[in-house]
């Protein structure tokens, strides 16, 4: 007789499957499998190969290790007495073999793949469409729409219109949408669904999960019924959803969030946008360039939380393109009458055919029963985590937009990978001190590190310089000098600690700034680097040079 430890079972049905497969192994007379004990007791014939027994269990996606055998049963048996153990951060002797992941977006996928590489078995639980926000209703479709709008704008007008005849493009939104959705479907299949389907160590369960306690979940299955699942570790990666402000009358109207806006098969003649940050401004400009008359209602100014120069620059660009930017304006009431939105504000009425609400995103944590698992969240519902993605519950981790971290998919993916390392016995942390961020307006907005105001709140004495783009050769050659590059340094050490840029393709230069900050470069060291001439990133060098010289007095590509 032999006794095995079976890890990875999540219910009594799993135990039944393990029993059935074990009793089909040549030499196994009988098997008693217990889900609650995580064990199997086998009666076997002498000479039965242990590798065939463990191989049968592994074939189901579980793992079997020998914990006891009578001498008679071990004759001719190949024993593995040093099974690999994945030890969690609680330093217990618990085998971490089954990881449950709630969600299937960027954080979830990164965690699942890393956990499997570490030897764990993973169950991914998804209540909606595989892939989460970014590929389905966020980053990918929005950037496709923004790109189409940018090309529309260039065909309609550019700095070279005196030599290249401008045309008024005809917009077929249905065809644009079909192309957009086809690419979304393709990426979801290639980067998410296909990877999950091809990985035998990952099981996908469709349903909505909530915590029963700190080591088990209840899943309301999409096709009916419930399933209780135990786990060794769990990662919450449920993302976020649009946050809707409590404006009187709003809930009774057919307003859009970014989700509905991105799949609209028509461009409205008039579009009102409530919001003043990333999603609001990206989509406002895209719709304006595709033909809508856009009005933005900003509670304060555009990009209120950023350096004031950023909001001022983008506001000027938007107004030049015919977008109405109503600063310090709030809707006190919203009505939808005879197919028209009517927004009451302190400055009068705003009329529109469609209304986009883009005032931020709230973590998807309300239905998880976090209290039952002892998981703490902040007032906004964001799960509180440390640098290792650990929550207040020892066996539960969280990553991505459902946490108190910045809501960027690349932050989510990095957090998911590190969470998986920590859930399987490693030690990894996520450092966000040099986290770049990009807003895909035109010109783009890109930032990394501290703004002057943020640094001063931290008690850091700063110095700064702002370089307007009419000093950057690439911008001059493009006949497009809209924007600026601002560098913030720590006084004394002269280390670069922050960069803010408003420029065409600013997103392509900000990573260089991030690397400079990460490597603790001084502004002089940045100024001394070689930058290729007639690139936008050369603006970083020029901005660094302004700390010690007048760049207007330099020749082209002066070192």
Query: Which residues are identified as catalytic?
Result: 9, 11, 14, 62, 134, 139, 556-557
> How long, in residues, is the chain?
559
Is residue 156 within 8 Å of residue 169, measured between CB atoms?
yes
Residues 6 or more apart from 191 whose CB is under 8 A from it? 109, 131, 135
- Picking from 32, 35, 1, the residue whose alpha carbon sits closest to that of residue 15 is 35
Residues 6 or more apart from 426 whose CB is under 8 A from it? 118
Q: Residue 329 — φ and ψ, nearest 5°? A: -130, 130
Distance CA 73, CA 41 (A): 12
- Picking from 359, 303, 301, 291, the residue whose alpha carbon sits closest to that of residue 326 is 301
Distance CA 11, CA 7 (A): 11
- Asked if omega into 85 is within 30° of 0 (cis), the reply is no
Beta bridge partners of 68: 3
CA distances from 39 to 49, 112, 388 (A): 19, 25, 32
- Picking from 179, 97, 86, 114, the residue whose alpha carbon sits closest to that of residue 415 is 114
DSSP 441-460: SSSEEEEEE--HHHHHHTT-
422 exposure class (CB count in 10 Å sphere: 0-12, 13-18, 19+): buried
Distance CA 272, CA 401 (A): 26
- How would you classify the pairing of strands 2-7 and 39-44? antiparallel
């Amino acid at each position: 007789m032999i006794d095995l430890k079976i890890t990875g079972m999540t219910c009594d049905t799993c135990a039944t499957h393990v029993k059935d497969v074990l009793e089909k192994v040549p030499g196994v007379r009988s098997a008693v499998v217990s889900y609650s004990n995580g064990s199997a007791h086998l009666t076997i014939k002498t000479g039965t190969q242990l590798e065939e027994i463990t191989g049968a269990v592994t074939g189901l996606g579980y793992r079997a290790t020998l914990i006891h055998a009578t001498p008679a049963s071990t004759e001719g048996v190949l024993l593995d007495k040093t099974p690999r153990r994945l030890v969690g951060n609680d330093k217990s002797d618990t085998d971490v073999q089954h990881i449950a992941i709630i969600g299937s977006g960027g954080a979830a996928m990164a965690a699942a793949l890393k956990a499997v590489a570490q030897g764990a078995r993973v169950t991914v639980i998804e209540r909606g469409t595989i892939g989460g926000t970014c590929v389905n209703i966020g980053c990918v479709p929005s950037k496709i729409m923004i790109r189409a709008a940018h090309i529309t704008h260039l065909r309609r007008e550019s700095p070279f219109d005196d030599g290249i005849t401008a045309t008024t493009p005809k917009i077929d939104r249905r065809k644009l949408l079909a192309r957009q959705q086809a690419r979304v479907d393709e990426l979801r299949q290639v980067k998410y669904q296909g990877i999950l389907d091809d990985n035998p160590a990952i099981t996908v369960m469709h349903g909505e999960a909530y915590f029963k306690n700190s080591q088990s979940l209840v899943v309301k299955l999409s096709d009916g019924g419930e399933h209780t699942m135990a786990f060794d570790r769990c990662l919450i990666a449920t993302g976020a959803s649009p946050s809707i402000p409590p404006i009187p009358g709003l809930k009774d109207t057919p307003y859009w969030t970014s989700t509905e806006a991105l799949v609209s098969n028509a461009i409205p003649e008039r579009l009102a946008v409530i919001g003043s940050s990333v999603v609001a401004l990206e989509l406002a400009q895209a719709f304006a360039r595709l033909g809508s008359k856009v009005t933005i209602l900003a509670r304060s100014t555009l990009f209120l939380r950023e350096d004031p120069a950023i909001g001022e620059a983008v506001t000027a660009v938007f107004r030049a393109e015919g977008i109405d930017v109503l600063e310090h304006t709030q809707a006190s009431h919203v009505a939808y009458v005879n197919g028209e939105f009517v927004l009451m504000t302190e400055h009068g009425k705003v009329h529109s055919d469609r209304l986009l609400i883009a005032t931020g995103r709230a973590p998807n944590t309300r239905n998880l029963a976090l209290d039952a698992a002892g998981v703490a969240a902040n007032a906004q519902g964001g799960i509180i985590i440390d640098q290792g993605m650990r929550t207040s519950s020892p066996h539960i981790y969280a990553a991505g937009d459902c946490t108190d971290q910045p809501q960027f998919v690349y932050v989510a993916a990095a957090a998911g990978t590190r969470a998986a390392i920590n859930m399987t016995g490693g030690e990894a942390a996520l450092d966000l001190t040099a986290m770049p961020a990009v807003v895909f307006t035109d010109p783009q907005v890109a930032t990394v590190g501290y703004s002057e105001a943020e640094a001063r709140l931290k008690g850091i004495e700063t110095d700064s310089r702002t370089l307007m783009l009419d000093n950057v050769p690439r911008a001059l050659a493009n006949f497009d000098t809209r924007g600026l590059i601002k560098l913030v340094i720590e006084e004394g050490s002269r280390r670069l600690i922050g960069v803010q840029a408003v420029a065409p393709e600013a997103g392509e230069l900000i990573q260089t700034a991030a690397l400079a900050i990460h490597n603790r470069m001084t502004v002089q060291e940045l100024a001394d680097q070689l930058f290729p001439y007639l690139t936008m990133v050369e603006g970083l060098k020029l901005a660094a040079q302004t700390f010690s010289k007048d760049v207007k007095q330099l020749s082209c590509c002066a070192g």
